[in-house]
Structure 1
Amino acid sequence: MSLHHINKQKVKVTLQTKITFGQDTETYELITFGTSVYKGDTLYIQYTEENEAGSTNTTVKHKENETLLLRSGVFKMRQVFRLNELTDGYYESIYGRLGTQTKTKVRSYHWDEQAREGKLMLRYTLQMQGSEPGQYEMKISYKEETAK
C-alpha cells in the first residue's frame, strides 16, 4: 500500500461544473486547496468554497459503489450518487430546505500514481422539489501538493 493510502495529503482541487437546462448551458470552475485521505477503501476529499455569501465546507466521500457529496456552512447539501439509481437528498440555503433527487448516469474515478493526481467525474440529472430536471456534469480533479 502506498503512502497515498495512509496519510492525509494537501491537494490543489479544481472543480468544474456544467449545468444544462433545455437549450441553456452554464459552466463554473473553482480552484481551491484542501486535503485528501483514504480510510480503508474510501477516499475523502475536503475543501472550502468561498463566495460573497460566506464559506461552505465540502466533503466528497467516494467508495466503490457510491459517492456522497456533503456541504456545510452558508449552503448545506447532502446528495448520494449511485450509478443508474434515483437517490434523494437536500439543498439548504437561507431561503429554506429543498428536497432533491438525482439519477446518476456516469460515475468514474481515476488515480494516476505517477502524477499524484486523481479525477472524479459525475454526470447526472438533478431535480429540486419536482422542478424540471437539469443535466449536470461535475469533475473534481485534485493533485497532491509537494513539499518545497
Structure 2
Amino acid sequence: MNPFVRKTLVVQIQAGATDRFSVLAHLTYDADDPFAVTAVFAHDGRVLARWRLDRQMLADGLRGAVGVGDVRLRPVATGMWQELRMEFLGDVRPDGGRHRAVAFAWAPAVAAFVRETRKVVPPGQEEVRVDDVLAEILAAG
C-alpha cells in the first residue's frame, strides 16, 4: 500500500470581513509521520503558507470547534454547503497583533482525505520511531 495520501483542493482565503479569493491547498499525509497532515497553500505557483496539522484535530474540526492555539478549526454550514473553517495565527506584527489567515475548504473533500489517511494508518495504530527521532535531533545538534 502507498504510504502517502495527497489531495489538492481549491479553498477560499478570507481577506477582510467578507471578501474571499481562491487558492490551492495541497494536503499530504505520510505514514512515516502518522499523526500529522501537511497543508501547503499556493497561488500562481507561489507557496503562501505551509502548516503541519494534527490529523485527529483535522477530523474533529469537521464535527465541531477545536483548537485554542495557533490553529483553530470548525465546521460552517451555509445552506447545503458544508465547509471547514481553518483559522491560522502567525507571527507577531510590529503593532503587537498577530498575522492571521482564514481559509474555507469544502468539508466533504477534507473528510474524504481523512478517510484515505485512515486506510493507510488506522487511528490507534500510529507508531513513533523514537530511536529515529532521537538520532535526527542528535545529528542536528
Same fold? TM cut 0.5: no
Task: Please state which structure has a larger fraction of its residues in helix.
Answer: 2
Task: Please state which structure has a larger fraction of its residues in strand.
Answer: 1
Query: Larger Cα Rg: Structure 1 or Structure 2?
Result: 2
Taking structure 1 as the reference length, the TM-score comes to 0.40
